[in-house]
Amino acid sequence: MFLVIKQKSIIIVGLIFIIVFATSFFIFSFAANETESCDLMYEVKEKYHGEKIAFLTFDDGPSKIVTPKVLEVLEKYDIEATFFVLGKAVDENPDVLKMIYDGGHFIGNHGYSHKANKLYSCESTFKEELQKTEESIRQALQISDFNCTLFRFPNGFISPIYKSQKNICAKALPSIDYKYIDWNSLTNDSVQKLSRESSFNIFKKTSKGKDVLVILMHDSGDLNKTYDVLEDTINYLLEKGYEFKSLEEFFDWHFSYLLVLYSCKQGGKTWKR
């Protein structure tokens, strides 16, 4: 009798363990999928799987000195890039932001001040910072309905710093029609003072064996001359057979959809941007 009761107890404990484990796994998987759904990196890699494609991205600008020189290099090679701007830097250099926009580059949101302890403090503060940055961009460009749609987490979403808070913030992005993207290659131009050769070698090491590259650089000018290693990077990738593209193309479908919808409502009449 005692043996039967003991066996039943073991079975019940086992069932409870399985239920708890399965529930935890489901919750974790749901949370992970929810975060992945607004991570643009998945779409980028899926669309260009097997192709040699490079996306140049610049964080922490715009700045008076470095950004114009970066733009000169990009114009020289006829490349469109993505600039993740800080609202504070936009307020300080609205004319430089206009140069980025007029050059045909895509503008992403990097928060207002790059102060992680404030940005990730809570969901409402996070949204307010993004919206404040958008307003700064609208004022600088004098475009009242400008929307960024793409965000990059300061220090990266992948970084373990403030990870739980960033998870909460990432899940809030779809509610304001945003996606986010990190990077898979870099030059460490904002980490420490480096020689041009050292920075370029870091890029080659972090890009090795990857067909699709989302390259992180900075146009803030805090430590290194990004525009020098930028030219080295471009020439290196061109020699390797890479094609350069802008992240803006992943948001063109939204405009196209609205255009078709508007046309249908107007009885087939078209409207041009």
Q: Which residue has the higher pLDDT, 159 or 18?
A: 159
Sign of the dihedral through C-alpha 74, 97, 153, 143: negative
- At 191, the pLDDT band (50, 70, 90 cuts) reads confident
pLDDT over 70 (residue 27): no
HSE-up (13 A, CA, CB side) for residue 18: 6
- The answer to whether 19 touches 179, Cβ cutoff 8 Å, is no
Which DSSP state fits 106? E
Q: Which residue has the higher pLDDT, 261 or 246?
A: 246
pLDDT in tens, 63-83: 999 999 999 999 999 999 999
The identity of residue 234, as a single letter, is I
253-259 CB contacts, 8 Å cutoff, 24+ apart: 254/149
Q: Which two tokens stand for residue 266?
A: 């107007």
Radius of gyration of the chain (CA): 23
Rounded to an integer, the average pLDDT of 131-141 is 98
- For residue 19, the model assigns a pLDDT of 46
Please state, in angstroms and as integers, the Cα–Cα distance from residue 271 to each residue in 62, 73, 104, 249, 258, following that order: 33, 35, 21, 20, 10
The identity of residue 26, as a single letter, is F
pLDDT over 60 (residue 47): yes
Determine the Cα–Cα distance for residues 250 and 92; give it in Å rounded to an integer: 29
Q: Which two tokens stand for residue 260?
A: 């078709």
For residue 109, the surrounding DSSP H or E stretch is strand 106-109
- For residue 192, the model assigns a pLDDT of 81
pLDDT in tens, 140-179: 999 999 999 999 999 999 999 999 999 999 999 999 999 9
For residue 139, the surrounding DSSP H or E stretch is helix 123-141
Q: Which residue has the higher pLDDT, 12 or 204?
A: 204
Q: What share of the chain in percent tops pLDDT 70?
A: 78
Q: Indicate the SS3 state at residue 90.
A: helix
pLDDT in tens, 100-128: 999 999 999 999 999 999 999 999 999 99
Rounded to an integer, the average pLDDT of 180-201 is 92
Q: Which two tokens stand for residue 124?
A: 């409402």
- For residue 166, the model assigns a pLDDT of 97
Give CA 120 to chain center in angstroms: 16
pLDDT in tens, 197-240: 999 999 999 999 999 999 999 999 766 789 999 999 999 999 99
